[in-house]
Structure 1
Amino acid sequence: MLESTEEQRPVVLVVDDAPSSLGMLCDTLEGEGYTVLVARDGDSALQRLELVAPDAILLDAVMPGLSGFDTCRQIKANPVMAHIPVIFMTGLSETPHVLEGFACGGVDYVVKPLRAQEVVARLHTHTRNARMTRLAREAVDVAGFGVVLVDARGRVAWRSPQAALWLQGAAGGAQPGRLPDAVYAALEDGSDEVLLALAGVQLSVRNMGRVGIGETMLLLEQRGANAASPSRLANAALTPRETEVLSWLAKGKTNRDIGDILGMSHRTVNKHLEHIFEKLGVETRAAAAALATGHVF
């Protein structure tokens, strides 16, 4: 059973046109520490998602009106909801159906009749992984930067909360899911940095190179009209993983805490910190944390 207070109970949205048949599953989920919300079709599920962001979604594939597959596509197309893990639970067991479930953004596929404890085990794993991923990605904003991942087609694959906030004012006629044209022009020219005008300030967009399969990482930093030269932190060229470690360090986490959050051993955390200290030119955790939180020595 999950250990959680009433305020911290994870929320799961169950979407099925016959929720009464899922009574045992819902009872099991409640008993395992989840708060369960129910929607009878895809449209009502999307309406609920405008009001609450659950930790996970259990989604039937075949429903009146909007299918589960199309519902999942709409969820994943919305950056606000895209991080929510979707687990299909359906009677469709043919390989094409399973493949479509994953292609539209699902993280798992369970065939009915359901085995409640199996669903709970899968749900718990995906919920935990999604939370750790979200926390790790949001950590990059601590240092005052934003991060955007762009896929091979130029589409925004992921953006940190700070990046999303800044880019709201930098759309400049860009199509949904894409960056302003000036960014793509700079990338094609091989430029390492492009500046975007944003209501009296500038947004620096730096190309950090390839990460993962076919994705490019862009580091965003807001600069005022009288911005000073890039900070020591900006010039340190930290790797994405080193940035995550430094961000959690700035939050006061111990090496063991950081290891648990990022899924690595505390020895690996120590090695990352050694590289961070060397790149920043500091010798202590306090000095590195001070740089990350914007303090000047």
Structure 2
Amino acid sequence: MLEHSAYRSEAAPPHFAGDRTAVLIVDDTPDNLALLSDTLHAAGYAVLVAQNGEAALKCLSRVTPDVVLMDAMMPGMDGFETCRQLKLDTRHAHLPVIFMTALVESEHVVKGFHVGGIDYVTKPVKPAEVCARIAAHVQRSRAQQYADAVLGLETRAAVITTADGLIRWKNPQATRQLARYGDAGSADNRCATEAGTSPARLPGPLCQWLLLWTKEGGELPVTYESNENGIRRTARLTRSAVRGEWVMILEEFDDVSETVSLVSQFGITTREAEVLLWLSRGKTNRDIGDILDMAPRTVNKHLEHLFRKLHVETRSAAAALAIKAGGRH
């Protein structure tokens, strides 16, 4: 295994790059690897290396870089076959592969594009040219990833954020909900205000929660929850298509209003309405007991009364009525 201070091998941990753009160099010539890795490292990139196609695929099973520099001609599995195989993994659909080759005949150029390559540079490579092409293709790839990600988020309040709370993208629904998180002028909201005229950041409570979660290296998905005057707000975090960023789904629940509505529509007691509300949100009897501070057997007793009043026999039927009554689908 090749060792060098400027780059990591295929054994690098999945999140070694942090917020830096990560480049995987695949080349069987140590001198080429050293030249390119030194150049890219000096330019601020995180660098991975692999000396053959098999090692590259092993690396890609653990880490998804932002771009791959692929030597076309290598012993064993050549660059064309390596590219074809890595593109079979849906995680790498947008991964730009730039071929490095001394083969300038059109058939080889066409073959590179046919297996999923996006560009090529001729050997001996010119470091400045390689850096320029990497920057252009990474920018284009990320723009496509953003476009794909936001298409599925437009109907929900959603934010794409970095670990330090910098908002990369948000939709109008999220803008309205974010405005209701704390006082923008308070010390508790310093994450949102410290940047001055820089791009918008998450409100203080969410920003501090995200920073703490990131520092502790928590697992995904994870949910933040707050409750103020009967308004419960949640922020569920999942990983974005772009490394170092997360998709945050925001939701609001007016527990008091929904409870009052259930009482009015079904002629049940407030306590029964509270049980029904949490039942409709998929909570178990034990969960409901913990939330409402009652014993599980008391929850069961309320459910027995609810079933009779709602003329249903199962939990799912009762939950369906509550969801329909609240306009949730």
Alignment TM-score, normalising by the size of structure 2: 0.44
Between structure 1 and structure 2, the one with the greater Rg is 2
Alignment TM-score, normalising by the size of structure 1: 0.48
